[in-house]
Chains A and B, each alone.
Chain A
Amino acid sequence: MNRNSSGDDRNANDENRNRLRNACWDQKQLLGLLEGELSSADSADAISHIEQCVNCRTSLEVLSAEPHEWQEVSEVLSSGVYGHAKLLAPSISRTSVSDTKEDWTESLSKRLLSPSTHPEMLGRIGRYDVERLLGTGGMGIVFRGFDTELHRVVAIKVLSPTLAFHGAARQRFSKEARAAAAVVHEDVVPIYDVETQREIPFLVMRFIPGESLQSKIDREGALELRQILRIGKQLMAGLAAAHAQGLIHRDIKPANVLLEEGIDRALLTDFGLAQTIDEARMTASGMMPGTPPYMSPEQARGERLSEQSDLFSAGSVLYAMCTGRAPFRGETSWKVLKLIEETEPRPIRELQGDIPEWLSRVISKMMAKNPSQRYKSAAEVSRLLEQCLAHVQHPLSVSLPEELTELARVDSTKKRFLTKQALATIAVGILCFAIGFIAMNQWWIRNQITGSSKLTTFSGEPSSTIRIPAVVPSGSPTRDISSALGTAGIAESASRAGEREPLMSTKRSSQLKDLSDYPPQPEERILRLLSEPIEVDLRGATLPEALKILFGEIPVDLVLTAQELAERRERGLESLDQLQVSFYGSGTRRQILQRILGEQDLGYIVHATRIEVATKEAGEERPVVRAYGLSYVTENAEQAEKLIGALRTMFGKQRGPVPELTLQGDVLIFEGTEQQQDRLVELLAAMGRQTEGLKTEE
């Protein structure tokens, strides 16, 4: 279409203009409009046109900014806390917030729907007449509609236009919607139809008359025991059906549990769709999606989810039914996530004394921080709750499930102990990775400061190489460390530890007293040591000497940046060993190290175990790294998962595809680009493991 066609005749020109007013504008012309470069007559035409044409309006929006930029502008300016943005609001009358919200969805819904043939209806989408708005959620808008072919009432969920622009979100939407449609169960809201080819994708579900569990809790507060058990049992049964299809819900919360009016039935909805929002929102603004009070700890950390993650969230829903409130609450999402990761919710029976102890225990187990300590499956919980319900209804003829009648209390000391150890291990893992990333594209030297052998422990030779410096003061009460750590090697060296000569001078060891309470994990000790203030005189010492004064015989490797190295070379300091230290005074060890080494990134590494890395394979598309020697990690499933989770999170934050990471037995299998592979090797090496070079596996 040529808008600039010149007509000799004025009339022809006007006619032409009239015709063109209704024709769509191309990108170049819209850009001109946006930048104010059109003639005023053309501008006026364009403005008339975009008033009527949704397509051109959308194109104009797309041309002016990416969806995420629209969102950023809106977030920044509406929050009123950035810069002096609050001063930017024009001084004109305002309607109240609640009004604008409603208006917005009304107007938006009009934008999404084609005009209705029926005056009673809001509009039409596909073969469905849209009757009215039911609600809006994070990802879209739900309408009540009528299927004109099958003559039945339906609920239509339309993907929010912001997300509809997002290619990945669209794809995920259709993929997940199709998967969810495959779940057929009386406790799952059935999906009738999925339409993804249209400009705005939507899905059609059975219309459930009734309300959501959320609004019931809002209205009634804590529910009655039988109701809790019945809804809980149905929720878990619906979840089990989805899990059987390999679907993880990801967004179990009271708002996604519908209670059908008239009959006692709870139905789970919004299956697997949460990921659609996650991806779009995360990429769009780097923001946490939605309000997270029902997230699992692994979800809060952004790790990969499993069926057990849904169990945690379902446990939180049960908690909310028992107490009338979500288990974790805080003013900001960040706070809530921190609470989820770090704290136990307030005991249910403190809030609702009439909830039986056994139910509170079931919920606690569902909400265990460690996924492997939760129930094995949703089906198991569903059966359990069903039996409980039967017991409550007929207490004389049906007894409680056996597992709930025994007091299955784990020795709490032991439990705490294990957690500490696990934390220590993973802390070092993540920390070293963090360092690895700081030191990205930098190289590092490993400076073996002390003559001590590597702290290694791996299957086959558990006791021969471990070495624990003596920070446990001799005569301190002996702990049964072996049972707590499950590693004979550590236990053995710990028992020898008292015989070793103290590494710190007496003056300093007094500051280390509280360490005797810890299992002698060298990693954690290093971390603690780094944050502890001490007073030292390092004047005249070389760096190795200084490190010895600071850390005793704990082997510490320093990681330096390329810049730092280059500088040192310039000054003729090839090796850090030659660095003369002049520090004198007090501070934490970390501060002292920073002072010694300058304001540079500082890494510290402790040797903990050993790893072999091998690459191959013939016939595989991408090279695979197999890291052996992870036995010390895999001896404890929790640690292994955390390690893998940490790796995933780290790689997930980088550009490019997220690599595949799996553990098979004690072998870590890693599929990623060559660059990622290099980084993995670097990271593993940086974790203090010896890289035995790259070799081909048979």
Chain B
Amino acid sequence: MSDIPPDTRASLLVKLQDRENAAAWRDFTELYSPVIRRTAARMGLQTADVENVLQEVLLTVSRSIQPWLDRSDRGSFRSWLKRIAKNKTMDLLSRRGTRSEDSPGLRWDALAAADSDVSSYWDLEYRRELFARASIRVRESVAEATWQAFWLSTIENRPVADVAQELKVREGMVYLSRCRVTDRIRKLVKQWESEE
């Protein structure tokens, strides 16, 4: 598991300028590919189209990151990327929706409504990716027993008493573990989100 923080800090961006910097690109794609894919898939695109969107987004980023970084008023990387991903997704949706006369496809009104959906799906998927990554970090940083107590009680929804018995700890410890883990995951997500 790569240890990059899921943010878009300047260091990563600067590295991305160098198209030959494979590590930076790997980090970047590892974080964002699932977000791009899932957003596109949620919009109802087929797998092949989803991959096309991903390719086009990555291509555009590689081509345009330099000029973008040179801009003084560039805003955040994340919103730039989101915009590119949104454009590509909408583009594919509209192509699909209008090409074929036989299949109903997306109607114009649906397409227009889809525009704002892409945006909220993106935000949702990005945030979930952060939660997943934060969870991985937290798991590495807490005792195994704490993680198990958290997992069984919170993710598997098992009764606290059972979990305590199975792990041979006090019930109070189970309560505390689930709160501690959730607290840390949340804080990490928050920190990453503010690190733009």
Contacts and interface: CB of A to CB of B under 8 A. Distances in A.
Interface of A: 33-36, 46-51, 57, 60-61, 63-66, 69-70, 72-78, 82-85, 87-90, 92-95, 100-101, 103-104, 106-107, 285-287, 301, 334-335, 338, 341-343, 423-424, 426-427, 429-431, 433-434, 437, 514, 524, 527-528, 530-532, 563, 566, 588, 590-591, 594, 599, 601, 642, 646, 649-650, 653
Interface string B78-122: 000001100100010011001101001011111111011000100
Contacts of B112: 427, 429-431, 433-434, 646
Given A51-B171, A590-B94, A72 B131 contact: yes
9 contacts: A48-B170, A65-B185, A88-B151, A90-B144, A285-B124, A427-B109, A430-B115, A599-B84, A653-B116
A84 B115 contact: no
A64 B95 contact: no
A516 to B, nearest CB: 13
Interface residues of B, number: 67
B184 to A, nearest CB: 9
Contacts of A87: 136
A9 B120 CA distance: 62
A82 B129 contact: yes
A192 B75 CA distance: 56
B195 interface: no
Contacts of A335: 44
Given A76-B135, A599-B60, A89 B155 contact: yes
B152 interface: yes
A34 B180 contact: yes
Contacts of B71: 563
Given A48-B172, A69-B186, A650 B116 contact: yes
Contacts of A75: 128
Contacts of B139: 88
A103 B154 CA distance: 13
Among A72, A74, A84, A100: residue with most chain B CB under 10 A: A72
Contact of B132 (A77, A429, A532): A77
A287 B120 CA distance: 10
A334 B135 contact: no
Interface stretch (B7-15, B46-54, B158-166): B158-166
A297 to B, nearest CB: 11
Contacts of B84: 599
Contacts of A77: 131-132, 135, 151, 155
Contacts of A437: 116
Contacts of B185: 65, 73
B156 A94 contact: yes
Given A527-B108, A649-B116, 13 more contacts: A34-B176, A47-B172, A50-B175, A60-B175, A84-B1, A89-B155, A90-B148, A103-B162, A107-B159, A286-B120, A338-B44, A566-B73, A599-B60
Nearest to B149: A90
A343 B104 CA distance: 9
A437 B120 CA distance: 13
Nearest to A75: B128
B123 interface: yes
Contacts of A92: 148, 152, 166
B131 A434 contact: no
B179 interface: yes
A103 B183 CA distance: 25
A71 to B, nearest CB: 10
Contact of B107 (A50, A57, A72, A423): A423
Among B120, B129, B176: residue with most chain A CB under 10 A: B176
Nearest to B95: A531
Given A85-B135, A343-B104, A74 B155 contact: yes
Given A73-B185, A286-B120, A430-B109, A36 B180 contact: yes
Contacts of B87: 594, 599, 601
B179 A60 contact: yes
Contacts of B29: none
B162 A423 contact: no
B193 to A, nearest CB: 12
Contacts of B94: 530-531, 590
A100 B157 CA distance: 6
Given A431-B112, A531-B98, A57 B135 contact: no
A64 B179 contact: yes
Given A47-B173, A100-B156, A531-B98, A82 B128 contact: yes
Among A50, A83, A107, A527: residue with most chain B CB under 10 A: A83
A90 B148 CA distance: 6
B147 interface: yes
Given A106-B159, A427-B109, A65 B182 contact: yes
A524 B108 contact: yes
Contact of B127 (A63, A70, A72, A424): A72
A29 to B, nearest CB: 13
Nearest to B160: A107
Interface string B31-59: 00010000000101000000000000000
Contacts of B155: 74, 77-78, 89
Nearest to A566: B73
Contacts of B154: 70, 73-74
Contacts of B191: none
B62 interface: no
B37 to A, nearest CB: 11
Given A590-B91, A599-B60, A50 B132 contact: no
Given A47-B170, A64-B180, A434-B116, A84 B132 contact: yes
Contacts of B44: 334-335, 338
Contact of A103 (B107, B128, B131, B158): B158
Contacts of B157: 100-101, 103-104
Contacts of B76: none
A34 B107 contact: no
Contacts of A72: 127-128, 131
A514 B101 contact: yes
Given A47-B173, A334-B42, A64 B108 contact: no
Among B64, B162, B170, B179: residue with most chain A CB under 10 A: B179
A81 to B, nearest CB: 8
Contacts of B98: 528, 531-532
Nearest to B145: A90
When A and B form their complex, which 7 residue pairs have the shortest distance between CB atoms, in order from nearest?
A83-B132, A427-B108, A47-B172, A430-B112, A64-B183, A82-B132, A51-B172
Contacts of B34: 82-83
Contacts of A649: 113, 116
Given A61-B179, A590-B94, A104 B128 contact: no
A34 B186 CA distance: 13
Given A88-B139, A286-B120, A51 B132 contact: no
